[in-house]
Amino acid sequence: MTLDAITLSVIEAGLQQVCDEMDLAFSRAAFSPVIAEANDRSDGIYSAVDGSLIAQGLGGLPVFVGVMQYSTARLIEMIADGRCLPPEEGDVYIVNDPYLGGTHLMDVRFAMPVWRGGRIWCWLSNTGHWPDIGGAVPGGFSASATAVEQEGLRLPPVKLFKRGRMDPEIHAIIASNIRVADQRIGDIRAQAAALEVGKERLTQLLDRYGDTIVEAAIAELRRRAAAQMRAQIAAMPGGIWRGEAIVDSDGVVDAPLTIALAVEKRGDGLVFDFSGSSAPCAGPMNSVLATTLSSVYLAVRHIFPDVPLSAGAFEPLTVTGYEGTFLDAKYPRPVSGCAAEVSQRIAEAVFSAMVKALPARVTAAPAGTSGNFGLGGFDPEAGRNFVMYQLSGGGYGGAIGQDGLTNGCSTIGISKSPPVEIMEQNFPVLYRRYALREGSGGAGTSRGGFGLSYELELLRGDARASFVMDHGRVGPQGAAGGADGAVNRVEVWRGGQRHVPPHLSKEQDIELAAGDRVRVDTPGGGGYGDPKKRDRAMVREDVRLGYYSAEDAERLFGPF
């Protein structure tokens, strides 16, 4: 069948619309702020044959780029070989097993087949980050787990909805294994309702254009997305570019983990070779393969944002050399740091290699940590337990002609951080400051953006603090002669004594009493180009606004 450019564009837009409306429905109806406000979720359409990505909502969290195609593929396999019950109309499977094409346990996936003419035409799937999934640490971000069982409840693909009705037994098992379970029913319904919205809109599309035409269009769109990616790659110079990124530690053993990457242009494809990276680690900074692949894809998409999100765009990208490294963790390796932190180091390794090939298109390294600070305890005034998270941004890398953004969101996220006033309404803490971190942007012809500096005090009761951050050992990398951004810093003041986590950016269960304080300084972005070549007027303006002291500016940028 031949399809004209118009029909293709029309169907492409139609598929995109289905996904965007699923994203919207999920967020608007969700209960957890992490989904409703922070949009830590994603929705997409997947092939009935092999689970490959057909289309994905543009409002989804970037870390989920392509990731659900792996979980859907595994589900299809497991149905075929009998490990999962065969689907019927109205069924919705739930799964969060990291080793079956997942991320961390908190990312819970739903998958629903769409039937046409008695057969499965495609799968709709979505992922939502649940605020808790059981395990040792409230919220799930363990800094020192040594096996996945410590990280929470692990669900193989099971039917949560059977013929349109929720199975109360499955729900009861889940509810009795997670914290604050009473509100999860709202998220579950929202997540399933989003798939229903998708089914309805997709059915309209199929009824209007016909199943065969849409199928042909999907195949053609995939071919063209691949062609578009290849066209971008073909325009790159030939060669091999090396990049590297360092994870501070795994949280258990105090030693850095290295991501070694060589990117090679082969014809009109790119090969990402991770051989030489560190071995699997004892603590939770392992990455499962699905997350490793997605991290490469999301970094590439940051570089080429115009290439459509479909499996075709990934075809020219080959990822190798991960076997036997911490980027391909197997059961029971703990993985709770993979989606939030290791993923961003993988992206940084990609940026640091690709900036050499495409200096006008790629930036110096961004802060690249989610800045996860968790605090759990008992609030005597409210008479209840609480669990609070502070996620924070950092500086972005400089680029040719443009300084980095200050306090940008993590590389893998798009979520807003909560207001201080809302945090203080809900938790027994008082922020002493919430400020731009002066001097943190890496010097360069274009400097990095600035990180954040905040300090808060526990007002009453007792609590335990946990940190899962990164870039404490080395700052985000500068490029083309630019300096690195400032490193992440954590300080805990207990009874007037300063405590710095031995692993710098990771520690679990630090006991706090009323009056104790936590101070976090997040990384600045890497600088781009020789700082001495920075426009002197811009250096003077940076000093006038207090971004750098005059002495620091002179030292970093030269006389001004």
Partner 1 sequence: MSENEADEAGAPAGGFGTTGPVMAGIDVGGTFTDLILVDGRASQGGRVTVAKTPTSIDNQAFGVIAALEQAGVEVADVDLIVHGTTTTTNAVLERRLAKTGLITTAGFRDVLELGRRTRPQPYGMTGSFVPVIPRDLRLEVAERMDARGRVLTPLDEDAVRGAVRRLLDAGCESLVIHFLHAYANPAHERRAAEIARELWPNDYVTVGSALLSEAREFERGVTAAVNASVQPILKRYVARLREELAARGYRRDFLVMNGNGGMISAAEVDREAAKTVMSGPSSGVMAAAYTGRRAGFPDLVTYDMGGTSTDVALIRNAEAAVSSEIEIEYAMPIHLPMVDVHTVGAGGGSIARVDAAGLIRVGPESAGARPGPICYGRGGTEPTITDANLLLGRLDPARLLSVGSPVSIETIRQAFADRIGVKTGLDPLAAAEAVLKIANLKMAGAIRMVSLARGHDPRDFALFAFGGAGPLHASALARELGIPRLLVPARPGITNALGCVVADLRHDFVRTLNRPVPALDEAEIAAVLAAQQEAGLAAIAREAAQPARIRTVRSADMQFVGQTHLIRVALPDGPVTRDLLQGLFEKAYFARFRVSLPEIRANLVNLNTSVIGEREALDLSALIDPAGRAARLDGALRTRRPVWFAGWRDTPVYIREKLPLDAVIEGPAILEQLDATTVLEPGDVARSDRDGNLIVEVGHILEAGS
Q: Which of helix, strand or coil describes residue 272?
A: strand
Query: Rounded CA gap, 446 and 536, in Å?
Result: 12
Q: Can you read off the two tokens belonging to residue 511?
A: 């006991």
Tokens (6 digits) for 521: 């300084």
Q: Each residue of 322-358: b (16+ CB within 10 Å) or e?
A: beebbbbbeeebbbbbbbbbbbbbbbbbbbbbbbbbe
Q: Are the C-beta atoms of 517 and 465 separated by less than 8 Å?
A: no
Please give the Cα distance from 180 to 397 (Å, whole number).
38
Q: Please enumerate in sequence order all residues whose Cβ is within 8 A of that of 168, keeping only pairs 6 or more positions apart, or say none.
A: none
Comparison of 3 and 170: residue with beta carbon closer to partner 1: 3
Least separation in angstroms between residue 82's CB and partner 1 is 33
Q: Is the dihedral of CA 275, 280, 283, 286 positive or negative?
A: positive
For residue 33, the minimal CB distance to partner 1 (Å) is 5
Tell me the two tokens of residue 148: 């996945």
Find out whether 450 and 475 touch, Cβ atoms under 8 Å: no
> What is the Cα–Cα distance from 541 to 537, expressed in whole angstroms?
6
Tokens of 233: 């790659």
Place of tokens 């922070």: 38
Cβ neighbours of residue 77 under 8 Å, at least 6 residues apart?
A: none
Tokens representing residue 310 in the block: 């479909």
Which of 104/302 has CB closer to partner 1?
302
Nearer to partner 1, 162 or 460 (CB): 460
- Give the nearest distance from C-beta 454 to partner 1 in angstroms: 9
For residue 555, what are its two tokens?
A: 């030292």
- The least distance separating partner 1 from the CB of residue 194, rounded to whole angstroms, comes to 9
- Residue 30 or residue 296: which is nearer to partner 1 going by CB? 30
For residue 252, the minimal CB distance to partner 1 (Å) is: 29
Q: Considering beta carbons, is residue 187 or 328 the nearer one to partner 1?
A: 187
Cβ at position 121, least distance to partner 1 in Å: 17
**Closest separation in Å from C-beta 414 to partner 1:** 5
**Least distance from partner 1 to the Cβ atom of residue 218, Å:** 14
Give the residue with the Cβ less far from partner 1, 62 or 321: 62
> Between residues 71 and 411, which has the closer beta carbon with respect to partner 1?
411
- For residues 81 and 182, which CB has a smaller minimum distance to partner 1 in the complex? 182
